[in-house]
């Protein structure tokens, strides 16, 4: 297979971990006889510094000619003023909207080797394997808003249409069909009109997926259940804001943000793949970053955009073998214990491939 992959390394540790994911994809191409071409572009704080725009037109054009996007991380203290007219995070919202990447897939899995790093009792982590499906281009992050300015009021508006909910719910139902056939929809239907529309739409669509067990949980209860019975979840469907918050909460089940990948997809095979962690500027350039989330994001790219399931599983297996061997980056090392560098960990994954 021939494929072109856009690489947007971004800020902070982004270039470090993205480089390792590219090495893994190059090894996969060599091992399985594929031809992958990588094109680099600017996004985030570095793009602001060089062009004044967090997502330059040149980057969008490059991505439009690619089969998928690999994104490192954006942001950092230099660009952290929330009142600034131009911010790195604007690039994220813009690229999702431009390519209509309306569904964000965030798998959360507990690794037996890392249970000591999670804040829960080990028995609660047994069997934890869930997939968040977060709506990504609607809701309160994209609704009408007004800054305070010189006045006393500011607002953000939570708006959803039935069509927006249907398309992301369809992704969630189909994902559940390929897993344990259980879907949990998160909402706040007892208070919010938009969430009542959300629930009605999910219920109506269930008629087309009656082999999937459906339940509904209010978001405040969901925050508790994720910590008290996390293994009970299979696929979790949530709107943009609730999905953002809950999937970050669930990340502690894996032991570190550095372990969790994500995919942002739409109606085609084109997608954007990135770790859920931030740019971690405090450790940038020190070789302490955990490349696992970025490498597993590359595995999701193989699975969803390139339709290469065997190759995706090979990457995931190599990561699990690396963890089983005892290799640890700083974030998942025993307290006060030894750890290896970003490069050494990635090299172990490459060796296992």
pLDDT score of 334: 84
Q: What is the CATH number of the domain that holds 137?
A: 3.40.718.10
Are residue 7 and residue 59 in the same domain, yes or no?
A: yes
Does 301 lie in the same domain as 335?
A: yes
Instruction: Provide the number of structural domains found in the chain.
Output: 2
pLDDT for position 15: 98
Q: Pick the catalytic residue from 141, 160, 173, 304.
A: 141
188 a catalytic residue: yes
111 is catalytic: no
Digit-coded pLDDT (tens) for 171-189: 999 999 999 999 999 999 9
Residue 150 confidence (pLDDT) above 90: no
Whether the CB-CB separation of 186 and 242 falls below 8 Å is answered with yes
Residue-number span of the structural domain to which 314 is assigned? 1-102+268-353
Residue at 110 is within a domain: no
> Does residue 225 share a domain with residue 124?
yes
Q: Considering the candidates 244, 288, 304, 331, report the single residue annotated as catalytic.
A: 244
Q: Are residues 249 and 302 in the same domain?
A: no
The model's confidence at residue 337, banded by pLDDT at 50, 70 and 90, is confident
Among residues 293, 186, 171, 183, which one has the least CA distance to residue 241?
A: 186
152 is catalytic: no
- 55 and 90 belong to one structural domain: yes
- The residue count of the chain comes to 353
Residue 285: per-residue pLDDT: 95
Question: According to the model, what pLDDT value does residue 293 have?
Answer: 97
How large a percentage of the chain has pLDDT more than 90? 90
* 114 pLDDT tier (thresholds 50, 70, 90): confident
- The predicted pLDDT at position 276 comes to 92
- Per-residue pLDDT, 255: 86
Specify the pLDDT at position 310: 98
Tell me the average pLDDT of the chain: 96
* DSSP letter (8 states) at residue 212: S
C-beta neighbour count of 201 within 10 angstroms? 20
What is the model's pLDDT at position 342?
A: 98
| pLDDT over threshold 90, residue 47 | yes
Query: Does 224 reside within a domain?
Result: yes
State whether 15 and 89 are in the same domain.
yes
Choose one of 211, 226, 254: the last residue of a domain: 254
Query: Which has the minimum average pLDDT: 16-20, 160-164, 246-250, 300-304?
Result: 246-250
Catalytic one of 204, 220, 225, 282? 220
CA-to-CA distance for 249 and 235, rounded, in angstroms?
15
Burial class for 237, CB neighbours closer than 10 Å (0-12, 13-18, 19+): buried
- pLDDT of 280: 95
Query: Does residue 112 lie within any of the structural domains?
Result: no
Residues 15 and 134 in one domain: no
Tally DSSP H helices, then E strands, for the chain.
12, 12
Instruction: Give the residues across from 70 on adjacent strands.
Output: 7, 273
Q: Are residues 76 and 127 in the same domain?
A: no
> Which value, in Å, is the radius of gyration of the alpha carbons in the chain?
20
Give the per-residue pLDDT at 275: 96
Question: Above 90 in pLDDT, residue 115?
Answer: no
Structure pTM? Answer: 0.93
Q: Are residues 138 and 224 in the same domain?
A: yes
What's the confidence (pLDDT) of residue 299? 98
Task: State whether 281 and 215 are in the same domain.
Answer: no
* Share above pLDDT 70 across residues of the chain, in percent, rounded to a whole number: 100
- The catalytically annotated residue of 27, 181, 182, 188 is 188
Residue 278 in domain: yes
Does residue 82 have a pLDDT over 90?
Answer: no
Domain end: 204, 231, 254, which one? 254
Asked if residue 272 and residue 247 are part of one domain, the reply reads: no
């Amino acid at each position: 297979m021939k494929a072109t992959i856009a690489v947007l390394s971004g800020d902070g540790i982004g270039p470090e971990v993205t480089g390792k994911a590219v090495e893994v994809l190059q090894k996969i191409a060599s091992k399985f006889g594929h031809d992958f071409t990588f094109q680099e572009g600017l996004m985030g704080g570095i793009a602001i510094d060089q062009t004044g725009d967090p997502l330059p037109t040149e980057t969008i054009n490059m991505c439009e000619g690619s089969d998928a996007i690999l994104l490192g991380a954006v942001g950092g203290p230099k660009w952290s003023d929330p009142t600034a007219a131009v911010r790195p995070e604007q690039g994220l919202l813009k690229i999702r909207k431009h390519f209509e990447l309306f569904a964000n897939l965030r798998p959360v899995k507990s690794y037996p080797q890392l249970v000591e790093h999670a804040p829960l009792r080990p028995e609660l982590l047994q069997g934890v394997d869930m997939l968040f499906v977060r709506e990504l281009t609607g809701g309160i992050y994209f609704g009408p808003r007004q800054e305070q300015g010189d006045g006393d009021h500011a607002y953000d508006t939570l708006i959803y249409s039935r069509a927006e909910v249907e398309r992301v719910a369809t992704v969630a139902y189909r994902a559940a069909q390929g897993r344990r056939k259980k879907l949990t929809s998160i909402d706040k239907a007892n208070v919010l009109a938009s969430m009542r529309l959300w629930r009605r739409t999910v219920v109506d669509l269930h008629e087309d997926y009656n082999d999937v067990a459906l339940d509904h949980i209010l978001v405040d209860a969901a925050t508790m259940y994720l910590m008290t019975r996390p293994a009970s979840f299979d696929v979790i469907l949530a709107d943009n804001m609730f999905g953002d918050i809950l999937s970050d909460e669930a990340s502690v089940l894996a032991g570190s943000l550095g372990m969790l990948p994500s995919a942002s997809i739409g109606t085609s095979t084109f997608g954007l793949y990135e770790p859920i962690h931030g740019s971690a500027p405090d450790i940038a350039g020190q070789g302490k970053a955990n490349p696992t989330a970025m490498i597993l994001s590359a595995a999701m790219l193989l699975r969803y955009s390139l339709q290469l399931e065997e190759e995706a599983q090979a990457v995931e297996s190599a990561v699990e073998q690396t963890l089983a061997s005892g290799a640890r980056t700083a974030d998942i090392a025993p307290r006060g214990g030894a750890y290896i560098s970003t490069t050494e960990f990635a090299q172990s994954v490459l060796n296992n491939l």
